[in-house]
Structure 1
Amino acid sequence: MALPIVAIIGRPNVGKSTFVNRLAGDQTAIVHDEPGVTRDRTYRPAFWSDKEFVVVDTGGLVFNDDTEFLPLIRQQAMVALAEACAAIFVVDGQTGPNPADEEVASWLRQQPVPVLLAVNKCESPDHGIIQASEFWELGLGEPYPISAIHGSGTGDLLDELIKHIPEVVETEENTEIKIAIIGRPNVGKSSLLNSFVGEERAIVSPISGTTRDTIDTVIEHEGQTYRLIDTAGIRKKKHIEYGTEFFSINRAFKAIRRADVVLLVLDALDGVTEQDQKLAGRIIDEGRACVIVVNKWDAVEKDSYTIYDYEKSLEARLHFTEWASTIFVSAVTGQRVTKILELVDKAAESHKRRVTTSVVNEVLTDAVSWHSPPTTRGGRQGKIYYGTQVSSQPPTFALFVNEAKRFNDNYRRYIERQFRKQLGFDGTPIRILWRSKKVRDMEVGSVNRATRV
C-alpha cells in the first residue's frame, strides 16, 4: 500500500525535524540546536483523522550559498517535493519573515503542489496569531500558528492538509525484508543505497559523516519488497563527542536491532579494521543475520590470487562470522550489487527458519555418535538428553543435559558446527542454550506448583 507523501520544507533551524517527530508520534528524527543537522530526506509514517500518509523531513534550504552540502541538500528537497502530493513550509514565528524565507516561498510558488504555511514556535496562542500574521506577505495563503514542541495549533493545520491527501488504494503486499546498511564512515554505504535504488536517494560525499539520520527506502526486486536502512558511519567510541554524531550512532545501533539482515560494508582498500571487527561483534550480539559486503572492489589492483588472498584475510580477521556470506562489489559501477539481494534472501530465510524437535534430536544423535561428550577427570561424562528450538530470529536451541559445565567450549563449538552442517543456517548466527538437568527439574517443578495454586 503506497501512502501519499507530504514534504516538510523550510530554511535551517526552524524546527522541521521537531515538527516531523510531532506528526510521526515519535522522536526518530534527530533534533539538535545546530543548523544543518538534517541533510538527507527521511521518511516517517503519520496519520490524521482517517488519512494515512508519509512525512518527508528535508534539510534546511539555502539558495544563495553553494558551500559544503547545501547544493546537495537542495537537490534532496527538490526530489522530495517532486514525489509529494502536498508540502508544508515551516517558518520561525519568533524571528519573523526574513530574506531566506522569501526565497524559499518564491520557489514554492512555482511548484505544482499545494503548499501550507506553518508558523512554528508560536507557544502562546494569543501572541501566536500576531506572529503568524506577519507571514501573509509570503504569498502562500493563510499562515497557521503552531508549536511543534507542544503540539498546539497542529490540528487546524492538519485538518486543512488532509483535504489535499488522496484516498489510498489497498493492494496485497508481501512481507518486506528490513536491511540495515552498517559500516565505518566513508566506506560507501550511501553509494550502495543509491546503487540499489537507481537514483541519488542519499547524499554522497567524500567527507565522512555526511549521513546523520537513518534513512528508510523501500524497493522491490523480483516480487520481494526490501526496506533499506542507511545509517551514519560509526567511528571509534573515543572519537565521538556528545551531540549530533552521538545521536546518529545511537540511531545506527537501533537500525541493527530492527533489521532482519545487516549489510556490514567494508572498504576493500582498507581491509578489515579493528572497528569493523567491533561492528561485526555488535551484529552478533544483536542476533541479526549478516552479509559482508566488500565495497570499492573496482579500485583494487588484482591478479589471479587477489580474491583468494583477500578471502583468507577476511577469514582470519572475522573468523567469528564465518557463517556470513561475503560478496565483493563496486557501488559506483554497480558491479554485483543486485546479487547482494540474493544473499539477503538466503540469510533472511535462515534467520526466521524453525526446525522440528524430531529433526533437532536426529542431528544431536548423529553428532554424539561421531564425537562423544567429554568426560571429567572424575570419570563423569556429559550427557545430552534432548534438544528443541525455542525461538527464531535468531534461531535459538535449548539442549537439556545432565550438567552444563561438563561441556567445554570445544565441544559446544563442535555441536554448533554440526547444526550448521546438517541444517544450514547460512547467513545467521545461532544460539545454543545449555540447560542442566537440575535447572530443568526446577523449571518443571515451578510450573507444577503454579498449576496447583
Structure 2
Amino acid sequence: MKQSRVDFTKVDAALLPTIILVGRPNVGKSALFNRLIRRREALVYNTPGDHVTRDIREGVAKLGDLRFRVLDSAGLETAATSGSILARTVDMTGNVLVRSQFAIFLIDVRDGLQPLDLEVGQWLRKHASGIHTIVAMNKSESLDEHGVLTSAAGEAHRLGFGDPVAISAETGLGMAELYQTLRPLFEEYMFQLPNNGLNQDDPTSEAEANEGDESKLPLQLAIVGRPNVGKSTLLNALLQEQRVLVGPESGLTRDSIRAKFQFDNRTVYLVDTAGWMERAGKEKGPSSLSVVQSRKNLMRAHIVALVLDAEKVLSLIQLYTSLRPKVLAIVCSLLSG
C-alpha cells in the first residue's frame, strides 16, 4: 500500500478532510463508522422497519496512514412526511453537508440497486453538488469477485458517481481499495490548504501539551435524565447547532452522542445519553443497547449533569407541601395513640 505524501498525524484536527456517510436505512453506515474510528461507538442493530441512527455522530477516522473526520448520519428517506422524525433527520443531514468535503454513499449490494438508492442519489446531486461522492457497495463479503459482484458494480454505475468500491464494514473487506480511492483526493484537498493544515506551532496532542496541568485537561461531561426532559435541546444549545434530533416524541435519542465543546479555554466532551427509562432491564433491541451505552458513558464521565423537568419537580414540591400537614397530623396521631 503506497503511503500518503501528507503526514496526517501532524494536521490540525479542525482542518482534516471530512467525510459524511449517507444512504438509505440499514445499509451499514454505522458499522462503517465504527470500523473507521476503530471502536464500537455507534449502535448497530438490524431493524428493517426502523432507524437506529437518528442523530449526527462525529469521530476521527484512521485508515492506514490517513486521518480524517467522519460523520455518521441517519438513513435517508426523501419521501418522508413533512414534520415526521424521518423528515427531520433528512433536514439535519442536509444542514451538516456544509461541513463535509466528501461523501461515501453506501448501498447494500445484496439487495441490488433499490428505488430509494436512486432517490438518495438524486438528493445528493441536489443538496451536495460541491461534495465529491464515492459509492461503496457494502456487505460484499458474500458475493464472488468476478460474477455477481461485477454485475452489481455495473448496476451501481447508474447512480452517476463513478466507479464503486466493494467493501464490507463488518469484516473489513475492501478497506485497502477504499484507502487507494481516498488517498489522492485527501492529498489534493490538503495541498490546497495553507501550510497543508500542519499544526507547526505545537504538533503535540492536547493531552500531551497539558500534561501535569489538571486544570487544562479535557473534561468528559455526560448529560443524563429521563426521556423528554431536554437533554438534547441542552446539547444543541451549547454547540449552537442542530447536532441531535429534538421533538415531542419519547425516546428520540438512541445513540449516546459525543461532541467537542470549548469553555473558558478548556476542552469539554459533551455526551448526550438516551433517556433513562423505568424498568430498563426488560427493554429489548435498540433500547437495551442504548441503556448499556449510557451506563458506559456514565462510568467514563468526570461530571454528570442531571437534567430535570422543572414543571414536574414543581408539581412534586406543591404536592408535598399540600400533603405535609395531613401527613404530620397522621404521624402525630399514631404516635400519641
Fold shared, TM-score > 0.5 on shorter chain: yes
What is aligned with 1:152?
173
Deviations 1:228-277 (A, max 9, x none): 11110011125742100000111111111121111111111222xxxxxx
Are 1:55 and 2:73 an aligned pair?
no
Are 1:87 and 2:103 an aligned pair?
yes
Are 1:133 and 2:154 an aligned pair?
yes
Shift of 1:169: 2.7
What is aligned with 1:44?
59
Separation in 2 of the partners of 1:177 and 1:27? 21
What is aligned with 1:106?
122
Are 1:252 and 2:304 an aligned pair?
no
Shift of 1:55: 1.5
> Which letter does structure 1 place at the counterpart of 2:110?
Q
TM-score of the superposed pair, with normalisation by structure 1: 0.58
Whose relative contact order is higher, 1 or 2, with alpha carbons under 8 Å and at least 6 apart?
2
Deviations 1:383-437 (A, max 9, x none): xxxxxxxxxxxxxxxxxxxxxxxxxxxxxxxxxxxxxxxxxxxxxxxxxxxxxxx
Aligned-pair Cα RMSD in Å: 2.1
Shift of 1:220: 1.3
What is aligned with 2:79?
64
What is aligned with 1:276?
none
Are 1:200 and 2:242 an aligned pair?
yes
120-129 or 58-67: which moved more?
120-129
Separation in 2 of the partners of 1:54 and 1:247? 25
> Which letter does structure 1 place at the counterpart of 2:44?
V
Classify the secondary structure of the residue corresponding to 1:229: strand
What is aligned with 1:26?
39
Are 1:225 and 2:243 an aligned pair?
no
Separation in 1 of the partners of 2:75 and 2:178? 21
Classify the secondary structure of the residue corresponding to 1:266: coil
Deviations 1:188-215 (A, max 9, x none): 0001111111122211011111001011
Change (3 A) 1:121 1:238: closer
Separation in 2 of the partners of 1:157 and 1:80? 23
* One of 144, 169, 184 as aligned partner of 2:198: 169
Separation in 2 of the partners of 1:30 and 1:46? 17
Shift of 1:82: 1.6
Shift of 1:168: 4.4
Classify the secondary structure of the residue corresponding to 1:89: strand
Shift of 1:87: 0.8
> Which letter does structure 2 place at the counterpart of 1:115?
T
TM-score of the superposed pair, with normalisation by structure 2: 0.77
Aligned positions, number: 276
> Which letter does structure 2 place at the counterpart of 1:43?
E
Q: Could you tell me whether the CA contact under 8 Å between 1:46 and 1:52 is conserved in 2?
A: yes
Deviations 1:45-91 (A, max 9, x none): 21123221122111000111126311111122113322112110001
User: Which consecutive unaligned segments of at least 5 residues does structure 2 have?
Assistant: 1-12, 191-195, 207-215, 322-337
* One of 114, 117, 122 as aligned partner of 2:140: 122
What is aligned with 1:11?
24
What is aligned with 1:243?
285
> Which letter does structure 1 place at the counterpart of 2:198?
V
Separation in 1 of the partners of 2:85 and 2:197? 35
Deviations 1:114-133 (A, max 9, x none): 11100111113413232222
The residue correspondences of 1:267-278 to structure 2 (distance < 5 A) are 267-271=309-313
Separation in 1 of the partners of 2:280 and 2:267? 38
Separation in 2 of the partners of 1:65 and 1:108? 16
Q: Could you tell me whether the CA contact under 8 Å between 1:181 and 1:262 is conserved in 2?
A: yes
Deviations 1:367-396 (A, max 9, x none): xxxxxxxxxxxxxxxxxxxxxxxxxxxxxx
Separation in 1 of the partners of 2:217 and 2:162? 42
Separation in 2 of the partners of 1:204 and 1:44? 21
Separation in 1 of the partners of 2:31 and 2:135? 16
Shift of 1:217: 1.2
Are 1:75 and 2:117 an aligned pair?
no
Separation in 1 of the partners of 2:17 and 2:261? 16
Percent sequence identity is 36
The residue correspondences of 1:272-287 to structure 2 (distance < 5 A) are none
What is aligned with 1:187?
229
User: Which consecutive unaligned segments of at least 5 residues does structure 1 have?
Assistant: 272-299, 310-453
Change (3 A) 1:201 1:99: same
Q: Could you tell me whether the CA contact under 8 Å between 1:4 and 1:168 is conserved in 2?
A: no
